[in-house]
Structures are given as C-alpha cells and as structure tokens.
Homo-oligomer: A and B are copies of this chain.
Amino acid sequence: MPKLVASDIATALKKRISSGEWIENGRIPPERDLASEFGVARNTMRRAVSFLEDDGTVVRHVGRGTFLTATNPASMAAVVGRMEGTSPADMMEIRQLLEPAAASFAATNASAMELNAVREAHRIASESQDMPTFEHWDAEFHHRIFACSRNEFLKEIHNLMRILRNQAPWFEMKKRSFSEERRSIYCSEHQAVLDALLRRDPESASQAMLAHLKTVQRNLLGR
C-alpha cells in the first residue's frame, strides 16, 4: 500500500473543497487540526496546503487562518471542472475546427526536426502491437502536430483536450470502438496527413486531418 503523501492529501483537500465543504465562511481548518485529522505531520499538511496555495485555490494569513479564494483561479478551475463534464460529441465537433487548422499551420511553420518527430510518432504507432501503446503514440502524433503549429494558445487548448480525453467517458468509448481494422485505417489516414506536412501543403494537410477526424467521430459516436 503506497504511503499517503502531500500531493495525495492536496487532491483530497481539493475534492472536499469542490464538494462544498468549508464554503460557508470560506475558511478551512487550521493546519494543526487537518494534520491530526489526516494522521500526518504538520509539516506534511503544510506542504499539501501549499499546493492549493500555489494554484490559487487558497490564501493563507498568519494568525488568521487559511481561506478559499473567490476570485480568478477558482473560476478558472470551475471552467475546467465543467469541461470535464462535456460530451465527447461536443469535443469532437471542436476538434474538427481546431485540428485541421493546426495541421495547416504546421505545414507552413514546422521545422524539419519537428516534422521528424511527427514522422517518428507515426512510425511507432504503426508498429505498435497492443492497443494501449497504439493509443499513446496516436495521441502523440496529434500532439506533435499541434506542437509545430506555432500558436501557444492552440497548443494549450489541445493539451486540455488531451487531458480530458484521458478521463471517464472516453475510456469505455475508445475501448469499445477499437479494432485491428480501424487501427490500420487510422494509420493510413495519419500517413496522408504526414505526407501533406512533408510536402508543405497546408490545404491538403487540413483536408487530410479533417477526413481523419470524421472517421474517428464515426467510429466513436456512430453516425
């Protein structure tokens, strides 16, 4: 059994906060109390609370206590929280807006080294033997295309989507929809995208990506 460490405690605290605990006066219990409640040294609890402080969930005042912040970081976290609840259908719709554009940007902006990284991800995915490995390098292929889009904001949106796709409702869906035949279709579609990137052809990169995403959408959600 792994030991309960500060980061674990931090996520436990976040869970309790987002479940509405302590919201009444916005104040969370003293470190000493929390420490004894969790059966952990005060120093460890301090580190845990520091995580919350770092991401803006909480502010601390000497002599007064530790308080939930009602401002920006919280609303940001709320957005992310609601995103976790959005449907795969909605996200696939947005992917079809963003990823073709990313591919188009990549075709014009990518360095040779970055394109090599894309090609490498494609190669490993093609040669992978089991589904989890394929999944991983499939995701990596898409990620690396965003990475050479030269738009930081776009990259971060994709990071968000990637994290969300690694959670609850997607798991089942991906597992259900996977098959050897579909894998090989995905590979050849990836190849088409890669070819367009290597030809530095933004328009066909975009089209190839869109075609691929439509296939994925069909497989994941039916038509």
A: which residues have CB within 8 A of B? 1-2, 5, 7-8, 10-11, 14-15, 17-20, 23-25, 27, 29-30, 33, 55-57, 65, 70-77, 79-83, 85-87, 90-91, 93-94, 97-98, 101, 130-133, 135-136, 139-140, 151-154, 156-157, 159-160, 162-163, 166-168, 171, 175
Q: How far is the CB of A168 from chain B (nearest CB, A)?
A: 7
- Across the interface, do B94 and A56 meet the contact criterion of CB distance under 8 Å? no
- Across the interface, do A135 and B18 meet the contact criterion of CB distance under 8 Å? yes
Q: How far is the CB of A14 from chain B (nearest CB, A)?
A: 4
Q: Provide a sorted-by-A list of 28 A–B residue pairs whose CB atoms are within 8 angstroms.
A: A2-B27, A2-B29, A2-B30, A2-B33, A2-B65, A7-B27, A11-B73, A11-B132, A11-B133, A15-B132, A18-B131, A18-B135, A18-B175, A20-B167, A23-B166, A70-B163, A72-B167, A77-B80, A79-B156, A82-B156, A83-B153, A90-B151, A91-B153, A94-B151, A94-B154, A97-B97, A97-B98, A98-B98
Q: How many copies does the complex hold?
A: 2
Contact A86:B152 (CB < 8 A) given known A57-B136, A133-B14, A136-B56? yes
Contact of A20 among B2, B133, B153, B171 (CB under 8 A): B171
Instruction: Please give me the 7 A-B residue pairs with the lowest Cβ-Cβ distance, nearest first.
Output: A14-B132, A90-B153, A86-B153, A71-B166, A86-B152, A55-B77, A11-B25
Contact of A55 among B70, B136, B171 (CB under 8 A): B136
Closest to A160 in B: B79
Q: Tell me the complex Cα distance, A102–B105, Å.
A: 21
- Across the interface, do B33 and A7 meet the contact criterion of CB distance under 8 Å? no
Q: How far is the CB of A43 from chain B (nearest CB, A)?
A: 16
Q: How far is the CB of A182 from chain B (nearest CB, A)?
A: 17
- Across the interface, do B19 and A171 meet the contact criterion of CB distance under 8 Å? yes
- Across the interface, do B7 and A70 meet the contact criterion of CB distance under 8 Å? no
- Across the interface, do A76 and B80 meet the contact criterion of CB distance under 8 Å? yes
B-chain residues with CB within 8 Å of residue A79 when the two chains form the complex? 156, 159-160, 163
